[in-house]
Chain A
Amino acid sequence: METLINLFWSLVATSRDVLPIAVVLFGFQYLVIRQPLPNLRSIIIGFIYVVVGLSFFLIGLEKALFPLGKLMAAQLTDPAFIHGVGVVVEGVNWQDYYMVYLFAAAIGFATTIAEPSLMAIAIKANRVSGGTVSIWGLRLAVAVGVAFGVALGTYRIITGTPLHYYIIVGYAIVIVQTIRANRAVIPLAYDSGGVTTSTVTVPLVTALGLGLATTIPGRSSLLDGFGLIAFASLFPVITVMAYSNFGEWLRKRRRIRGDANEV
């Protein structure tokens, strides 16, 4: 019964989120374009699917994943777990937190694979590229980037180093990669930074950041808790371009081998 009530409120909330989008779309369609939509019926059904699907998705996450994931983030960052019960440590030794990095990487990877907006981009890119961009290849490349980004982000919070140094170095890497990258991959790589951080990833990653920032002496949860999302959006750009370079290198090698065989 409680689940049903939650589901109802989730439906209401999702409809409210989708409403402004629907108003803009249908407003411009009927006031500016002034043409009937060719497949209006199926588009409306599609919108209903989106609202219902997202509601179930969010309720399920709230029920199954978020409480446990947040609890886990709190337990793993608890000083009693990291240093042992009753041990008082002077200062912060970043190596003690290896389990936190492992968890950060694992949860970053796993939540990205389940991220619906990344699926949408991957499906579209696969279709537009005529199959050259593989759906799973792109998703894995992005997930590896998020994993690395979140793990590095936790390291930053633990060591208390300034956020913008990391971001600026990351930008420099992106610029160098862009110069060398295949022209067709650049926009997709840039896009993949923005899609990683929505429904599934943000709540768990934020919980991890806040957990760390509140338990480590000298960190402010208000100032240091932020920034993990920024890492999670920057590193996929790097890994997607690297993945594309790697794919090209593989193809080239195969071609050279093929030529050798023919000779």
Chain B
Amino acid sequence: MGHDMRTGLVRFFRLLTSSFRDLVPIIVVISFFQLIVLQQPIPDFGGILLGLFFVLIGLTVFIQGLEIGLFPIGESMANAFARKGSLFWLLAFAFALGFGTTAAEPALIAVAAEAARVAAAGGVLDGSAAAQADYALYLRGTVAFSVGVALMIGVFRILKGWPIQYLIIGGYMTVVVLTIFAPANIIGIAYDSGGVTTSTVTVPLVTALGVGLATAIKGRNPMVDGFGLIAFASLTPMIFVLIFGMLWSALG
């Protein structure tokens, strides 16, 4: 037990050092611009040190949790679904995971509120708080639905072993074509909404699911077939939000 604890501590320390290395670039960039370019002292130095210490501990503990929690459950569920062999439940799971993790995503809530303000300023909405709240809610629903669909398509691709590039490039082209017809005020938001859907908890989980499925299914290669779910989750929101913007301005 004493030995266990010591090796545990040594491991934690090693992780802590590597987390520190991850933070060095930020510390260097911020100090360089503050002290040399802007030539100002660093305000609240003690508070910043404490904050950095928190970031360090947080990153280290999170990476540990990734290894013993998120990766194993993603893989074990992928395995169980592969053995069960029910396409319906696997796709239902993929949809629920995409929809459930995105609907509550704080970054998306922020972007949706911002987008409602843009729409009100652009005259698409009547500007009342209720109309804006409605718009933001519909937009969030659209993005969450699109991520659910994305994971379904992505999982189906892994099962079939389709090359990813045809689907993704086809998606890009759809984005380009829709951009031509979409109202100007939705384009920036649509493009950004692809980036906000993939949170720190979703990414490891979804990656473990994809790689786990590709490992469990015969004839699939985890490197070629396992990755790519995140790519779908960042692409489909753009398409769905562009369509949402077109429908909204068309239907009023």
- Known A222-B118, A230-B195; judge A72-B58 contact (CB<8 A): no
Cβ of A155 to closest chain B Cβ, rounded Å: 16
Tell me the bound Cα distance from A63 to B192 in angstroms.
Answer: 26
Render A219-263 as a binary contact track against B, CB cut-off 8 A, 1 for contact: 000111111111011000000000000000000000000000000
Range for the number of chain A residues in contact with chain B: 35 or more
Complex Cα spacing A3 to B51, Å? 9
Query: Given the complex, which residues of B lie within 8 Å of A200, measured CB to CB?
Result: 26
Q: Pick the contact of B58 from A42, A60, A197 — CB < 8 Å?
A: A60
Give the residue of A39, A103, A190, A225 whose beta carbon is less than 8 angstroms from that of B72: A39
Q: Give the contacting residue for B29; candidates A19, A35, A110, A190; CB below 8 A.
A: A110
B227/A188 in contact, CB under 8 A? yes
Beta-carbon contact of A124 and B69 below 8 Å: no
Quick check: is A12 within 8 A (CB to CB) of the other chain? no
Given the interface pairs A53-B64, A116-B62, the reply to whether A28 lies near B93 with Cβ below 8 Å is yes
A53 close to B60 (CB less than 8 A): yes
Complex Cα distance A56/B72, Å? 23
Which residues of chain B from 104 to 121 have a CB within 8 Å of any chain A CB?
104-107, 114, 117-118, 121
B228 to chain A, nearest CB (A): 4
Stretch of B42-50, B133-141, B243-251 at the chain-chain interface: B42-50
A interface SS class: helix
The contact string, 1 if C-beta is below 8 Å from chain A, for chain B 8-20, is 0000000000000
Given contacts A54-B201, A113-B25, A128-B211, contact A191 B66 (CB under 8 A): no
Is B129 part of the binding interface, using a Cβ–Cβ cutoff of 8 Å? no
B216 partner residues in chain A, CB cutoff 8 A? none
Contact with B along A157-195 (1 / 0, CB 8 A): 000000110011001001100100001101110110111
**Do residues A60 and B192 form an inter-chain contact, with CB atoms below 8 A?**
no
Is B62 a contact of A114 with CB atoms below 8 Å? Answer: no
CB pair A222–B77 under 8 Å, yes or no, is no
- Tell yes or no: B56 within 8 A of A by CB: yes
Chain A residues within 8 Å of B164, by CB: 186-187, 190
Per-residue CB proximity of A110-134 to B under 8 Å, as 1/0? 1101101101110111001100000
Across the interface, name the chain B residue whose C-beta is closest to A194.
B234
B132 — which chain A residues lie within 8 A by C-beta?
none
State whether A45 and B200 are in contact (beta carbons under 8 Å apart), knowing that A21-B100, A76-B38, A124-B211 are contacts in the complex. no
Chain A residue at smallest Cβ distance from B56: A60
Q: Complex formed: what's the CA distance from A174 to B164 in Å?
A: 13
Chain B residues within an 8 Å CB radius of A43 = 68-69, 72-73
Q: How far is the CB of B121 from the nearest CB of chain A, in Å?
A: 5
A42 contacts B68, CB within 8 Å?
yes
Given contacts A21-B100, A54-B58, A163-B187, is CB(A48)–CB(B65) below 8 Å? yes
How does the 8 Å CB contact mask read for B199-238 relative to A, with 1 for contact and 0 for none? 1111111011001000000000111111111110110000
User: Which residues of chain B have C-beta atoms less than 8 A from A20's C-beta?
Assistant: 100-101, 103-104
Contact partners of B128 in chain A: CB under 8 A: none
- B179: which of A42, A56, A164, A232 is its contact (CB, 8 Å)? A164
B146 at the interface (CB under 8 A from A): no
Task: Enumerate chain B residues within 8 angstroms of A197, measured Cβ to Cβ.
Answer: 195-196, 198
- Is residue A148 contacting chain B, with contact meaning CB distance below 8 A? no
From the candidates B29, B52, B77, B194, name the one contacting A107 in the complex (CB within 8 A): B29
A1 within 8 A of B: no
CB distance from A126 to the nearest CB of B (A): 11
Which of B56, B89, B229 touches A32 (beta carbons < 8 Å)? B89
Q: Which residues of B contact A190 (CB under 8 A)?
A: 164, 168, 227-228, 230-231
Q: Does B23 contact A (CB under 8 A)?
A: yes
Q: B172–A175 contact, CB under 8 A?
A: yes
| A25 at interface by CB-CB < 8 Å | yes
- Cβ of B156 under 8 Å from chain A: no
Residues of A with C-beta under 8 A to B100? 20-21, 23-24
Q: How far is the CA of A234 from the CA of B189 in the complex (A)?
A: 15
Specify the chain B residue showing the minimal Cβ separation from A199: B200
Q: Across the interface, do B234 and A33 meet the contact criterion of CB distance under 8 Å?
A: no
A92 part of interface (Cβ distance < 8 Å): no
Knowing that A187-B227, A188-B223 touch, tell me 13 more A-B residue pairs with CB under 8 angstroms: A19-B104, A23-B100, A24-B100, A46-B67, A49-B68, A58-B58, A60-B58, A64-B47, A114-B25, A163-B187, A222-B121, A223-B185, A230-B191
A-B contact pairs, 18 of them (CB 8 A): A18-B201, A21-B97, A45-B65, A45-B68, A46-B72, A56-B55, A63-B54, A76-B38, A106-B29, A124-B211, A128-B222, A167-B191, A187-B225, A197-B195, A198-B203, A200-B26, A229-B191, A232-B195
The 3 closest A-B pairs by CB, nearest first: A46-B69, A64-B51, A49-B65
